[in-house]
Amino acid sequence: MDSQALTIELDDEQFEAVLGENLLTSLLNQGANVRYGCRAGACGACRLYDASHCESILSCQTTVTSSMSLTRQVLAEFSVFSVLSNVPLNDHSIELVLLGPSDESFGDRVSVAFLCKALSKERPKTSLGERAHFYECMALNPVGAPLKIVLQKDHLSDEDWWRALALSAEDPMAVQLLAGSRKGRLLFEMDIADAPVVVIASPDNAMFEPYWRDALLDYTPSFLGHFSLFANQDLALSLADDALISFLNDALANAGGASLRLIYHGQKVSAKEWAILLRSLRIHPNQLYFVR
Ligand code: FES
């Protein structure tokens, strides 16, 4: 290799380039499969993501000055939000409040990713390289309030968990919203207004209790409590827990004959497994709602 030859990684392929060479020309000359159009910086077709510098570049307008690690991008559109507050809830979860163009509210799903600080608010819409990982979360804020989410250590890579811990006010984060979906409909669509309601959470969702409590107290005067299933490799076994059965019997008694609604916040216990417990308590399966 020439002493001035540099290495260009493009996804899984490696190419060489000479210092000072045009990046797009170099890649095309070596047979790389890259899109391009105007070759004048106008059309955007040649955009690649420079993972070393956390920025997207127009390859036709880029002079090679060092070795590069590039990816053919564009996963999804996102908006850049800024951190309003970052509050550790415990050793493995952090509550984030994010300011940005969102009308999401409790129960809506959003996906967030960490951005290099270099990607600033002056560039609110851009493409994101494949190396940024989006994490799906539930919006926890009431209608009209800034987006609130909880990040859990178990769901993040080690690197992103450290990034989460290091976040400070005004840091940027990428947020993908569910464009076109009806927002804030979770509780409405359950048809639980004014009904007696309990929430039963999987162990990893136990920390959401205060958020459920706030959301439901706004929605029904008959919120009858929250129960966290105990951690067990076989979560179905945790449905046989005496404490859960006693909690549900108390709720049924407090419901005063009205139809008790159950919200299961988790994924691992199937409807079939729930049906066995519900049948023994004379609760109809359609009184149970699943929220992942
Ligand atoms: S080819 Fe059109 S901007 Fe680069």
Interval 46-66: pLDDT, tens: 878 777 776 678 899 999 999
The atom number, within ligand 1, closest to the CA of 41 reads 3
Q: Are 36 and 60 in contact (CB under 8 A)?
A: yes
Q: Torsions phi, psi of 99, nearest 5?
A: -100, 125
Confidence of residue 88 (pLDDT cuts 50, 70, 90): very high
Distance CA 236, CA 270 (A): 8
Helix, strand, or coil (residue 205): helix
Name the residue with the closest Cα to ligand 1, atom 3.
41
Helix, strand, or coil (residue 162): helix
- Cβ of 25 closer than 6 Å to ligand 1, yes or no, is no
- Cβ of 190 closer than 6 Å to ligand 1, yes or no, is no
Which runs of consecutive H residues, i.e. helices, occur in 173-270? 186-190, 209-217, 235-238, 242-254
- Cβ of 186 closer than 6 Å to ligand 1, yes or no, is no
Q: Which amino acid is at 66?
A: S
Ligand 1 center to 26 CA (angstroms): 14
- Cβ of 83 closer than 6 Å to ligand 1, yes or no, is no
Interval 150-181: pLDDT, tens: 999 998 989 889 999 999 998 989 898 765 55
And the tokens for 62? 């880029």
Q: Are 22 and 34 in contact (CB under 8 A)?
A: no
Distance CA 48, CA 58 (A): 6
pTM for this model (two decimals):
0.67
Q: Supply the pLDDT for residue 234.
A: 60
- Domains, the chain, in order of start with CATH, read 5-71 (3.10.20.30), 79-176 (2.40.30.10), 189-291 (3.40.50)
Ligand 1 center to 71 CA (angstroms): 16
Find tokens 């076994």 and name the residue. Answer: 237
CA distances, 14 to each of 26, 45, 130, 231, 289 (Å) = 12, 21, 17, 47, 50
Distance CA 22, CA 232 (A): 58
Reply yes or no on whether the pLDDT at 39 is more than 90.
Answer: no
